[in-house]
């Protein structure tokens, strides 16, 4: 079988192109054994690792998609809630404004009414006081008039005289400036 | 390299000196190597002479460059010869199996290290070879292990063929009285037996598939080789061409791999010094050495992988062609 191996050294180059049958058998056996071992013990392992990785990448992509979906949902929910909260806040502020306005208006009205009431009260008090002062002045004037008349006439006056004298004196006096036009 | 030695000017807004430094260093290095090569050439011519003095072994014809590809039987176990071709085949199988079995246990779902990436790259490449060329899932499952093994086995065989090993038992050298085989770069597929056997296996397989696809009918088998829509008058001629080309697949698969590897190894050997030995002029060796280095890199980086790829993808294409309609 080893024809080429036993030809004289450097005899010719023919061994280059004539296949060594022994080597061919070695190649066949070694190649088939190697292919068998690789087929049995190596390729399934590499294939499994790659398939597992592909599966894990796929599931990662899926879960990432799911997560993104969930995140989008949560985001949308939050945006909605935010919008609602904003609307509520606006409503609250609006209501507060309205309430404030109403309260302000009420206070102003009440204040005005109170002021008017007090003014009225003061006015009536003034009128009463004025009336009382006038009456007092009137009685003082009457008293003075009686005393003056007594001193001038040197006689005591009776009630009718008093009355007449007072009326005369009072009719002569003008109280219109004190009583605001009232007599 | 030069970027490490070159001190980078710090704080300069202008980047030109920084960029120019490595370039000029590389240029200097190239000039230095070129100068060294030129000086060496002049030295060899001046000291050892321009005219060659052939070695006695060369002159007598005892030394031949092809001898290093001779499969010298080292020992025989009964009818089984053991030579360096066998050693390389076993070495290739041991490295392939050792590496892949080792890595198969250490593969992680999250890739760790370049070796795993390389193994996965190999797996994906070969599975796409079968995936794209074999029509059915069942065929792909059936032939993927074979195509993948073909690729990795040829690749490893080619690559260990660029490591110099003391396997040239035809031309020995003596050190301290011991006769040691010369170091050489040898690859199992520089012997035609290696690619021929693999091509034969593939040829038988795709012929078997074609025959099976044609319901074991030899006439249908031959008819399936004919391209559809061939004009009637040309049928006989096309038939002959197609039959020839079909059987030439065996030869083309074999010769493509074998001739590429043998020629590559011979070119590296010639450029790397053998031509100088043949003409007996040391300056020729020195002259061709850079070419030898370029050749070595070209073969080891490109041809080794390319030929493994071509052999295995063509096998896949032929298998796919066997079971598809024209």
- Mean of pLDDT values over B91-103: 94
DSSP code at position A177: T
Alpha-carbon span B35 to B28, nearest angstrom: 10
Q: What is the pLDDT of residue B290?
A: 92
Question: Which chain B positions have a beta carbon within 8 Å of A9's beta carbon?
Answer: 62, 64, 67, 70, 170
Higher pLDDT, B118 or A11: B118
User: CB distance B80–A23 less than 8 Å?
Assistant: no
* B107 and B116 Cβ atoms separated by less than 8 Å: yes
- In the numeric block, which tokens belong to residue A48? 């499994």
Q: How far is B42 from chain A (nearest CA, A)?
A: 34
Q: Does B115 touch chain A (CB under 8 A)?
A: no
Contact by Cβ (8 Å): B318, B133: no
Query: Residue A63: which pLDDT band, with cuts at 50, 70 and 90?
Result: very high
For residue B11, what pLDDT is reported? Answer: 44
How, if at all, do strands B165-175 and B75-77 pair? unpaired
Q: Cβ distance B168 to B181 under 8 Å?
A: yes
Taking residues A41-47, what's their average pLDDT?
A: 92
* Chain A residues 41-60 with CB within 8 Å of chain B: 41-43, 45-47, 49-50, 52-53, 56
Average pLDDT, chain B: 87
What percent of chain B has a predicted confidence (pLDDT) above 70? 93
Comparing alpha-carbon positions, the chain A residue that sits nearest to B90 is A30
Which residues contact residue A18 at a Cβ distance below 8 angstroms, ignoring those fewer than 6 apart? Answer: A3, A4, B192
- The encoded tokens of residue B277 equal 């030995």
Torsion A2-A3-A8-A14 (CA) sign: negative
Find how far residue B69's CA is from the centre of its chain: 15
What are the start-end ranges of the E strands in chain B?
Answer: 75-77, 80-82, 165-175, 178-184
Q: Indicate whether B54 pLDDT > 90.
A: no
The pLDDT value given to residue B71 = 85
- pLDDT number for residue A182: 47
A78 in contact with B, Cβ within 8 Å:
no
What pLDDT band is residue A13 in, cutting at 50, 70 and 90?
A: low
Q: Is A11 on the interface with B (CB under 8 A)?
A: no
pLDDT tens profile B271-321: 988 888 888 888 888 999 999 999 999 999 999 999 999 999 999 999 999
A16 shares contact with chain B (CB less than 8 Å): yes
Distance CA A173, CA A166 (A): 11
Average pLDDT of the residues of chain A:
84
Tell me if A38 and B144 make a contact (CB, 8 A cut-off): no
- Angstrom distances, CA of residue B8 to CA of A175, B20, B25, B193: 118, 11, 13, 57
With a CB cutoff of 8 Å and minimum separation 6, the contacts of B289 are B37, B271, B272, B273
Q: What is the 3-state secondary structure (H, E, C) of A92-132?
A: HHHHHHHHHHHHHHHHHHHHHHHHHHHHHHHHHHHHHHHHH
What is residue A150's predicted lDDT score, i.e. its pLDDT?
Answer: 80
- Whole-angstrom distance, CA of residue A80 vs CA of residue A92: 18
- The pLDDT of residue B13: 47
**Terminal Cα distance for chain A, rounded:** 167
Output b/e per residue, B197-224; b: 16+ Cβ within 10 A. bbbbbbbebbbebbbeebeeeeeebeeb
Say yes or no to pLDDT of B200 above 50: yes
In the DSSP assignment, the letter for residue B169 is: E
* Separation in Å, CA of A62 to nearest CA in chain B: 18
Q: Distance between CA B111 and CA B120 in Å, rounded?
A: 9
Q: Which residue of B has its CA nearest to A46?
A: B104
Q: What does the CA dihedral A49, A54, A56, A58 come to, rounded to 10 degrees?
A: -170
pLDDT at B6 over 50: no
Chains A–B, number of C-beta pairs less than 8 Å apart:
143
**% of chain B surpassing 90 pLDDT:** 54
Q: Are strands B80-82 and B75-77 parallel, antiparallel or unpaired?
A: antiparallel
Tokens 């063929």 sit on residue: B161
**Mean pLDDT, range A40-49, rounded to an integer:** 92
* H or E stretch at B222: helix B218-224
Is pLDDT above 80 for A9? no
B5 pLDDT above the threshold of 60: no
Domain boundaries, chain B: 40-322
Q: What is the pLDDT of residues B145-197, one digit of tens each?
A: 999 999 999 999 999 999 999 888 877 888 888 888 888 889 998 999 999 99
User: Sorting pLDDT into bands at 50, 70 and 90, what band is B57?
Assistant: confident
pLDDT at B10: 45
Closest CA to B166 of B154, B175, B158, B157: B175
Q: Give A102-151 pLDDT, tens digit per residue.
A: 999 999 999 999 999 999 999 999 999 999 999 998 888 888 888 888 88
pLDDT band (50, 70, 90) for residue B7: very low
Contact B104 A2 (CB under 8 A): no
SS3 label, residue B76: strand
Nearest to B283 by CA among B29, B8, B11, B53: B53
Q: Do A6 and B73 touch (CB under 8 A)?
A: yes
Mean pLDDT, residues B49-57 taken together: 79
CB atoms A4 and B71 under 8 Å: yes
| pLDDT, tens digit, 9 for 90 and up, residues B115-149 | 999 999 999 999 999 999 999 999 999 999 999 99
- In whole angstroms, give the CA distance from residue A4 to residue A16: 9
Tokens, residue A136: 């007092």
pLDDT band at B20 (very low <50, low <70, confident <90, very high): low
CA distance A6 to chain B (A): 7
* Segment (H or E) for A133: helix A43-153
Q: What is the pLDDT of residue B3?
A: 40
pLDDT of residue A155: 67
Contact with chain B for residue A3, Cβ under 8 A: no
* Tokens found for residue A65: 């998609």
* Res B52 pLDDT > 50: yes
User: Average pLDDT for residues A63-84, to the nearest whole number?
Assistant: 95
**Residue B275 · residue B299 · CB < 8 Å:** no
pLDDT digits (tens, 9 = 90+) for B76-86: 887 778 988 99
């Amino acid at each position: 079988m080893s024809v080429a191996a036993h030809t004289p050294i450097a005899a010719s180059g023919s061994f280059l192109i004539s296949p060594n049958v022994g080597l061919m058998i070695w190649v066949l056996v070694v190649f088939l054994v190697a292919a068998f071992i690789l087929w049995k013990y190596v390729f399934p392992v590499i294939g499994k690792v790659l398939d597992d990785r592909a599966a894990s990448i796929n599931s990662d992509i899926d879960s990432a998609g799911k997560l993104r979906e969930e995140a989008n949902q949560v985001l949308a929910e939050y945006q909605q809630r935010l919008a609602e909260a904003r609307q509520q806040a606006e409503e609250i502020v609006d209501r507060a404004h309205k309430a404030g306005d109403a309260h302000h208006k009420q206070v102003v009205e009440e204040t005005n009414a109170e002021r008017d009431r007090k003014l009225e009260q003061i006015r009536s008090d003034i009128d009463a006081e004025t009336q009382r002062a006038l009456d007092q002045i009137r009685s003082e004037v009457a008293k003075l008039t009686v005393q003056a008349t007594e001193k001038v006439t040197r006689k005591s006056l009776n009630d009718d005289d008093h009355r007449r004298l007072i009326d005369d004196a009072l009719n002569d006096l003008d109280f219109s400036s004190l009583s605001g036009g009232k007599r | 390299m030069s970027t490490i030695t070159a001190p980078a000017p710090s704080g300069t807004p202008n980047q030109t000196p920084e960029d120019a430094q490595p370039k000029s260093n590389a240029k200097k290095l190239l000039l230095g190597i070129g100068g060294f090569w030129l000086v060496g050439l002049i030295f060899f011519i001046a000291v050892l002479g321009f005219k060659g003095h052939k070695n006695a072994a060369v002159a007598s014809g005892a030394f031949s460059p092809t001898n290093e590809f001779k499969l010298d039987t080292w020992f025989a176990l009964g009818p089984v010869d053991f030579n360096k071709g066998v050693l390389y085949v076993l070495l290739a199988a041991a490295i392939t199996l050792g590496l892949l079995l080792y890595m198969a246990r250490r593969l992680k779902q999250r890739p760790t290290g370049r070796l795993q990436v390389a193994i996965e790259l190999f797996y994906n490449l070969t599975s796409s070879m079968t995936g794209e060329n074999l029509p059915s899932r069942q065929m792909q499952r059936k032939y993927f292990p074979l195509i993948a093994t073909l690729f990795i086995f040829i690749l490893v065989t080619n690559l260990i063929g660029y490591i110099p090993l003391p396997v040239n038992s035809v031309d020995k050298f003596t050190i301290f009285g011991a006769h040691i085989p010369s170091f050489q770069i040898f690859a199992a597929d520089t012997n035609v037996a290696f690619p021929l056997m693999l091509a034969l296996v593939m040829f038988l397989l795709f012929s078997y598939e074609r025959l099976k696809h044609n319901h074991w009918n030899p006439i249908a088998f031959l008819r399936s080789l004919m391209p559809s829509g061939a004009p009637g008058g040309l049928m006989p001629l096309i038939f002959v061409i197609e039959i020839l080309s079909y059987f030439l697949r065996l030869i083309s698969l074999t010769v493509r791999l074998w001739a590429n590897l043998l020629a590559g190894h011979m070119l590296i050997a010639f450029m790397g010094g053998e031509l100088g030995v043949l003409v007996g002029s040391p300056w020729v060796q020195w002259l061709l050495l850079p070419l030898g280095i370029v050749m070595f890199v070209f073969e080891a980086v490109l041809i080794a992988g390319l030929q493994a790829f071509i052999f295995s993808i063509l096998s896949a294409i032929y298998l796919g062609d066997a079971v598809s309609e024209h």
